[in-house]
Amino acid sequence: MVRQLRENRSKFFRVKCPDCENEQVVFEKASTVVDCVVCGKVLAEPAGGKADVKAEILATLE
């Protein structure tokens, strides 16, 4: 029972870059700055626990 609850705590987000509209997958609790691989714009920054996502979230992946 405990193992089942711990497995589904974190998510991935499919986000769209506001500058070049590139779609990229970002971890919900990113511990480093995540840049767009195409244009280099910051998509997510660490904020203690969950990352501060600065791009449009298109979907949540579990």
Residues 41-56 have pLDDT tens digits of: 999 999 988 999 999 9
**Full-model pTM:** 0.80
- What CATH number matches the domain at 2-61, 3.40.109.10, 2.20.25.100, 3.50.50.60, 1.10.760.10? 2.20.25.100
pLDDT for residue 6: 62
Choose the weakest-confidence range: 8-12, 13-17, 41-45.
Answer: 8-12
pLDDT of residue 21: 92
* Per-position b or e across 28-61, b if 16+ CB within 10 A of its CB: bebeeebebeeeeeebbeeeeeebebebeeeeee
Chain mean pLDDT for the chain: 89
Percent of the chain exceeding pLDDT 90 equals 77
